[in-house]
Structure 1
Amino acid sequence: MAGRGRGAGEGEGITAGVSERLMFAYAEPTEETPLSLPELRPPAELPPPGGGAPQPASPAAIFDRIRKPLGRVSLPALRRSVAVAAATELDRGIGFLLVPVFLAAGVIYYFSLSTEPDLYRPLAAVALIAVCAAVSRSWQRTHLVFMATLFCALGFLAAKVETWRMATPMLGSEIQTRLTGRLVTAEAMANGRVRLTIDLMSTEHPTLRYAPDRVRVSARRIPPGMTAGSMLTGYVQLLPPTGPVRPDSYDFSFDSYFAGIGGSGFFLGDPKLIAPAEAPVGARIASTIENAREGIADHIRTSIGGSEGEIAAALIVGVRAGIPEEINESMRRTGIYHIISISGLHMALVAGTIMVLLRGAFALFPDFSSRRPVKKYAAAIALASIAAYLVISGIVVAAERSFIMLAVMLVAVLFDRAALTMRNLVISAIAVILVSPHEVVGPSFQMSFAATAALVGAYAGFADYRAGKATAPPAKRSFLGYLSRKLAVGVGGAAVTSLIAGSATLLFAIWHFQRVSPLSLLANLAVMPIVSLIVMPFAVLSALAMPFGLDGPFLYVMGKGLTAMIAISAWISERSPVDAVGLISIQSVLLATIALVIATMATTWLRLAAVPFALAAMLAIPHVRTPDVLISEDAHLVAMPIGGGELAINRERSNEFTTDNWKRALKAEDIVPPETFAKDALDIADPVDLPPGSPFYCTGDLCIGRHPSGAIVALAENRDSARPACGFADLIVINDATAYNPCRDPRVLVVTKRQLARDGSAAVFFDTQSATARAVIQYAVEKPYRPWHEQRKYTREARGLPPYEKPERAKSSQSSQ
């Protein structure tokens, strides 16, 4: 009993605090002695064999000190040590911290399914598992397993319910029609056009039988009096939402489905205002808020002007469509684009500025401050301020998620709880997952929570380390020394913060965007002081002074800060190396996620379990094969890397977004356009004579290129022009939905426009071991379709029909407008 009591006491001492040290008892482990890890003395403290002053130990001596105790470790002792640490983690509440992890796992599993499940099955599963969890409360391990399974099932059910609840009607095919609708938002873009989001009321000429509820279209200009809530009409060309530009990339149909956007396009003329109709109360409130946003944005643009005015409008009211693309790209290359998106940084700076101002104001009244909880007053007003900021910024998802996180922290202050804790982060994560499950598979959710969890975990670990370490009182310094030390601490803290957040989000950024920012640490160190001390505080002051017409000086200072930010970003961007890093495996991202969860949530020595997962994640990064050819879903664009960092494409003018995405995925630096010849003027006796790595050569309706592996790629406009390529090509892409395979040789891979319309963009892989093997193709969309892809089956191309030709009567009607 005494032995057991001593073992338990040692276990309690071992597990107390985050920075505890587990020590080996250098005696042989017994059944009653739990295993612990060795406490290594610094080499300088090792005494020499003959006594005297301590001497540095050799590497062999250090290794011997580690090896001997580890050699006496037995498996039962290791199991007991793990059990002690696990029990300590449970006592400290790690079960609650893992709730959003299991919820997110269920959400990810739902969205990774190849078929759409029924609603009643996950409902029945949740009910059954809940009963099993309640019955198994007496058996702790079994109960924990059932609880983990229950939260996974709840995440699955939440995702299914959101999909069922949205049920967004999606446009089935490209069409021209006259629409009538209510304007939701109008955003001026940098290219001079205006992007309109419209709730459809009716369509005519032709009338759409399955019209979407909401569309997003652009116009050259809009009437002066058109604002949110206005009724408008006009002739538009609408297109269904597109799929991923390549397999495993961002799915625009998925995003449109959960945003409620059923189609996109552009006005063929200018929209016209019509007599307003009675709008629901919710629509009127939304229109009032949107008009206020636009009014504030216009005032900011007028006061500051230029690109700085557009960025200021983005920071204050979330309107960022007008920011020039070159500025956006420079901030992406330097890793500071997160400044533009209203997120946790902006919410925290707004709340912090409000609290600092209020605490300073309360300090002017010492009698009142000494008798009242002024800190809680400041927190309550800061909470109301960020709620107003959320509303005026358009309640976008990133801002909504950040508001929940900050609101939990400020409410914790109101109830005398620690504000910056992992538990508060978990509460906000649970709220976001249950409200918007689809955000779990998006880059915004993953990167923001990964960065925040890493920062909170690192801060907690450092705080515990400082709390358990005796420190001598600081030496007296001069005022200059004091300022120098504070500056060094500030710069060091900013560097460490950027390094921790960047490391936590690195693989997520590579997976989603195939790019990194090599100089992001330098850029953030240079820019963040300007944003934190000048831009955002003066933005808050300008918002407070705007109702009184006194915001001019504050906006002026804010604009000067943005000028400095733009200049620094452009300077660093010009010197930043190529940031495209290509594709990485999904296994590496999953392993890195597990490592991050363990490292940030564990508080005992079990956090060391994150190390093997992190190493495995790094080793798994290159375990992905880069496609040899990429094909767009409309069959218009084909790209092929030809070596030397060059990417050959088949068109002189290509979709810039698609080309840029393909460049990053294939680690290409330069685009090689095709060489075009007059019909029958291409002087190639035999296409096999083309050297490997040749770009596309086009003549008439046929283009030919050769991959570095030796495979020949042919692009044809129809079946007749594709038939001659059957004798020499390994891959033939036919830009015709009515065409079928003209080749009898099964080794030739033929891809038609109809196949791409059904299955989305494609990636082709040639067999490097055999020149006669058929190429392998991977499509972006799997069948049977999920709800956000159902519209694909209704396109004209998917049905094998030729392009739609407008009747002469409709043409003459449009020309008369």
Structure 2
Amino acid sequence: MVSKARALWATVWQRPTRIIAYDFEWGVAAFAAGIALYFALPFEPAWRILVLISVSIYALYVLSSRFDQSRRALWLVVPLLSASLGLFRATWHSDAVAEPSVRESAYTVTGWIEAVERSGTGYRWRIRVTEFDGYGDPPKPYRVRISVRKAEAMAGDAVRLRAILAPPPPPVMPGGYDPARKAYFDGISAYGFRIGTPEFVDLNGLSWEARAQRSLAKFRYQLADRILASSPEATAGLQVALLTGVRSYIPEEQIIALRTAGLAHVLAISGLHMGLMSGGAFYLATLLLVLIAPLSRRYDVRKPAAIIGALVATAYLALSGASVATQRAFIMVIIVYLAVILDRRAFSMRSVSLAALITLLLHPESLVSAGFQMSFAAVAALVVVYQYWQGGRQAYAQGLVARTKSGLVTLSITSLVAGSATGGYAIMHFGRMATYGFLGNLLAMPVFTFVVMPAALATLIAIPLGLEAVPLYVMGQALNVVIIVSDWVSGWPGALGHVKAAPGWVLGLYSVAFLWMCLGGPRLRIAAVVLSGLCFVAWATHPVPNMRVSDQGRIAFWEAKDGTQDAQTLYVSSKRADRYGREQFMQRAGEGEEAVTITPYQDARALCDALACRFKVSGHWISIISHPSEVMEACENSDLVVLTQRQAGPVARRGCGDKLLDRRNFARGGAHDIYLSGDTIKTVPAVTDARKERPWGKAPVLRRR
């Protein structure tokens, strides 16, 4: 009996090793698929049930393997078990980060400022809450975001202020960006604006972790001010952003030019910056250690250099604010250095998969972000391409000319592959593409790679000695070249192209095709090409809404000018109201604001009186009314009626049926997209019943943090 128990325990213990060793990359892909399933579900699963499902799948595999010694069962176990674990991890993480919701009202907030961000003509304070009026301790909100007009305080300052706060807003369009979901996983319970004058206070009783985080935040912004004062004026904002992660000082025109030229990736500290910064430290340390002959002859100096590179990466992570994108890059860099120390292959698909797995374990919500998808797509594509390319080329070029040529070719291949891998995701997420992005990167990235980031590393080394002026000047002059390139490329005709937005399921299928292309064999890669082609066909044929009604009853609808579809006119109820929602509406249709004529429909398109406006869109009569007394008459003569000011009565609602949109619809469903096709009218709310079942769509359970 004891021997049988030991045999069963040995079987249970040995199976995980076999599963991990068997197609680890595909297992990580299945784990990610489980996380994606969590965010696609119309309800919130129970994590305890998911634990039971995972254990059951594994138990069935162990029992079946007692009778089948082959590895056939792994084909079913690995994806099912990995997907169930991914679903469980996402559910558990979502439950763990829940914070108390805040009803719209005025509150007194006490806490310390984590970050100061620029927002239009004002600023936003992200405050770590220590005391909160109206809530006990616990529970109280962990973090709030408050808009202010002037930068009256800096990061690290402890303040007490009065603010109007409300829950983070829902998406402004169906299937669009969800601010409430991002705020939920960022631990932000409320957005709002300050009223009155803030009071600076002393905070006592903070934990050691909070004190360390506060000191680091204050140090980062003090360092940002020091760099800003010592840098050339034209490039100071960019230099601060690259060295500390504080982007508040970058001029808006520079951001637009870099984005249009395909160079927006230089703004956010990610894999490129982390690799160049820590990689520069690694190669510098290797060079210095090689010069010590007794040491270099006896030991592999790359290993202590890798430790130095990892320490520099850790310092850069803390200094740059440790955003999720930077954490993702840090994980990848640390895995590379561990491979060097352990004499393993540094760049491989397994190391990329391991970095993705660690990132998803820490932040499952990052899977649905554009940054995660684009960064790992670029790295995975580069690994695949260079594995084939390196096999047929000379390992080391001989001579200065040959090495220069090889370097330029490598840089061109890197830009082309990375740009191609991230291009599909960028277009699907943002609805725009940098037409000349490859040329912009080819012209600017050599300067950025070989001058800007080495000068940035030299600056961080020189700052403790007070000698940062020279490397900051060099860095500024090099960044000025990057700005000149971006201004030049962004000024070319058609530099920024706009494409209509893709539905979420198309993005999911495209990701499957991309994984097949990177991880599969020849047949699976052919299938990936076919699947990606089908995705683009479905994307191109997917309809776009003809009309938008915001949650405040603001109207926007398309009408082609002179019967053509390439020169659009957008008719709106107000040019000033619902600006962000209108921009998203235009982006979904694949139209840039610079190419669209925005006109109030009351002036040119509608028949209006004191109580209503009436116009025709795609063969359908639409009535916009402001008083419930006109509802019944409007419903008799129109195909769709929008009551903007009040809620219709029960009689009018029964008489109109689905023809009517009023304050009741807006309160329940937020903004609505309207599709007009033939004789049918389809309305799609931004806030669906399924979203209300998710934690970020309803009040989470109050808990002690």
- Say yes or no: TM over 0.5: yes
Which runs of structure 2 are paired with 1:750-765 in the superposition (5 Å)?
A: 750-765=660-675
Structure 1 vs Structure 2: percent identity of aligned residues? 28
Residue pair 2:572, 2:601 contacting (<8 A) in 1 also: no
Q: 1:757 Cα shift?
A: 2.7
Q: Take 2:135 and 2:39, find their aligned partners in 1: how far apart are those partners? A: 36
- Aligned residue in 2 for 1:507: 424
Query: What's the CA shift string for 1:280-306, capped at 9, x where partnerless?
Result: 211101001101100111111111154
Q: Counterpart of 1:161 in structure 2: which amino acid?
A: W
Alignment partner of 1:221 is 2:129: no
Match among 119, 123, 136 for residue 194 of structure 1: 123
After TM superposition, give the deviation of residue 330 of structure 1 in Å: 2.1
The answer to whether residue 49 in structure 2 is matched with residue 109 in structure 1 is: no
Asked whether 1:304 is paired with 2:249, we answer no
Q: Does the CA contact (< 8 Å) of 2:175 and 2:686 recur in 1? A: no
Counterparts of residues 454-473 of structure 1 (less than 5 Å):
454-466=381-393
Look up the SS of the partner of 1:646 in the other structure. Answer: strand
**Paired residue type of 1:777:** V
Q: C-alpha separation between the residues in 1 aligned to 2:610 and 2:258?
A: 42
Equivalent residue in structure 2 for 1:777, among 670, 681, 684: 684
Deviates most, 345-354 or 94-103: 94-103
Q: Measured at CA, do residues 534 and 466 of structure 1 come closer, stay the same or move farther in structure 2, by a change above 3 Å? A: closer
Amino acid at match of 2:620: A
Shift of 1:619: 2.8
The CA distance in 1 between the partners of 2:685 and 2:117, in whole Å, is 38
1:166 equivalent to 2:97? Answer yes
Distance in 1 (alpha carbons) for counterparts of 2:622 and 2:436: 38
Task: Report how far residue 111 of structure 1 moved.
Answer: 1.0
Describe the superposition over 1:750-804 as per-residue Cα deviations: whole angstroms up to 9, x where unpaired.
2223322322322111132x2xx44443444334521101049xxxxxxxxxxxx
Give me the whole-angstrom Cα distance separating, in 2, the residues matched to 1:198 and 1:585: 35
Q: Is the 8 A contact 2:172 2:686 kept in 1?
A: no
Quote how far apart the aligned CAs of 1:567 are.
2.2
Q: Secondary structure at the match of 1:141?
A: coil
Give the alignment of 1:386-785 within 5 angstroms: 386-466=313-393, 482-483=400-401, 485-577=402-494, 578-602=496-520, 606-642=524-560, 643=565, 644-668=567-591, 669-674=595-600, 676=602, 695=605, 700=610, 702-707=612-617, 709-720=618-629, 722=631, 724-736=633-645, 738-740=647-649, 742=652, 746=656, 749-768=659-678, 770=679, 773-783=680-690, 784-785=692-693
- Structure scoring higher RCO (CA < 8 A, sep ≥ 6) equals 2
Q: Which residue of 2 aligns with 1:365?
A: 292
What per-residue deviation string (whole Å, max 9, x for no partner) do you get for residues 660-690 of structure 1?
222221123314131557xxxxxxxxxxxxx
| Unaligned residue ranges in structure 1 (runs of 5+) | 1-89, 678-693, 793-817
Secondary structure of the 1:429 match is: helix
Deviation at 1:721, TM superposition (A): 5.5
- Alpha-carbon contact 1:726-1:743 (below 8 Å) kept: no
Amino acid at match of 1:215: V
Contact 2:429 2:502 survives alignment (8 Å): no
Q: How does 1:347-362 map to 2 (within 5 A)?
A: 347-362=274-289
Instruction: State the distance in 1 between where 2:262 and 2:248 align.
Output: 19
Deviation at 1:190, TM superposition (A): 6.6
Which letter maps to 1:162? Answer: H
| Separation in 2, partners of 1:277, 1:228 | 17
TM-score after normalising by structure 1:
0.77
Could you say which residue in structure 2 is the equivalent of 1:86?
none
The ranges of structure 1 where at least 4 consecutive aligned residues each deviate by more than 6 angstroms after the TM superposition are 90-94, 205-210
8 Å Cα contact 2:107/2:165 also seen in 1? no
* Residues 437-467 of structure 1 deviation map (CA, whole Å, 9 limit, x = unaligned): 1111111111111111111111112223448
1:507/1:589 contact within 8 Å kept: no
CA deviations over 1:244-295 (Å, ceiling 9, x no partner): 1211111111100000011112112332213433322111010011011001
User: Gapped runs of 5+ residues in structure 2?
Assistant: 1-17, 701-705
Alpha carbons 2:672, 2:683 under 8 Å: kept: no
The structure 2 residue matched to 1:179, chosen from 108, 124, 131, is 108
Tell me the alpha carbon deviations over residues 465-520 of structure 1, each in whole angstroms, 9 at most, x when there is no partner. Answer: 448xxx9x98x9xx7xx52x444433332232222222222222222111111111
Q: CA deviation at 1:205?
A: 8.8
Distance 1:724 1:427 in 2: 64
CA distance in structure 2 between the aligned counterparts of 1:356 and 1:417, rounded to whole angstroms? 18
1:321 paired residue number: 248
CA distance in 2, matches of 1:586, 1:97: 24
Query: d(CA) in 2 for partners of 1:507 and 1:326?
Result: 25
- Whether the aligned pair in 2 keeps the contact of 1:170 and 1:241 (CA below 8 Å) is no
Q: Distance in 2 between matches of 1:248 and 1:576?
A: 32
In our comparison, the structure showing a higher alpha carbon Rg is 1
Alignment deviations for residues 290-347 of structure 1 (CA, whole Å, 9 cap, x no partner): 0110011111111115452111111111111332223222222222111111100001
**Correspondence for 1:151:** 82
> Shift of residue 568 of structure 1?
1.7
* 1:749 partner amino acid: K
Distance, in Å, in 2 between the alignment partners of 1:209 and 1:387 is: 33
Deviation, structure 1 residue 211: 5.7
The corresponding residue for 1:813 is none
SS of residue in 2 equivalent to 1:268:
strand
How many Å apart are 1:228 and its aligned residue?
4.0
Deviations 1:383-414 (A, max 9, x none): 01001111111110000011001100111001
1:687-709 residue CA offsets vs partner (Å, 9 max, x unmatched) = xxxxxxx64666545444432x1
SS, match of residue 476 in structure 2: helix
The alpha-carbon distance between structure 1 residues 641 and 307, as it changes in their structure 2 partners (threshold 3 A), is: farther
The normalised TM-score by structure 2 is: 0.88
CA–CA separation in structure 2 for the residues paired with 1:92 and 1:436: 21
Distance, in Å, in 2 between the alignment partners of 1:374 and 1:461 is: 29
User: In 2, Cα distance between the equivalents of 1:213 and 1:606?
Assistant: 47
**Equivalent of 2:141, from 204, 212, 224?**
212
- Contact (CA 8 Å) 1:184, 1:229: kept in 2 or not? yes
Render the CA deviation track for 1:561-612: whole Å, top value 9, x for unaligned: 2222222212211225142101234444333322221221235665444332
Conservation of the 8 A alpha-carbon contact between 1:712 and 1:731: yes
**Mapped partners of 1:222, 1:562: distance in 2:** 27
Give, as a single letter, the amino acid of the residue that structure 2 aligns with 1:660: E
Distance 1:705 1:492 in 2: 58
Partner Cα separation in structure 1 for residue 115 and residue 48 of structure 2: 41
Q: How many residues align?
A: 670
SS in 1 for 2:169: coil
Which letter maps to 2:300?
P
Contact 2:183 2:189 in 1 (8 A): yes
Contact 1:519/1:576 (<8 A) preserved:
no
C-alpha contact (below 8 Å) 2:57/2:81 kept by paired residues:
yes
What is the distance in 2 between the residues matched to 1:307 and 1:237?
A: 37
The separation in 1 between residues aligned to 2:367 and 2:310, in whole angstroms, is 25
Structure 2 distance, partners of 1:233, 1:453, is 47
Contact 1:715–1:722 (CA under 8 A) maintained in structure 2: no
Instruction: Report deviation, 1:128.
Output: 0.3
- SS in structure 2 of the partner of residue 98 of structure 1: helix
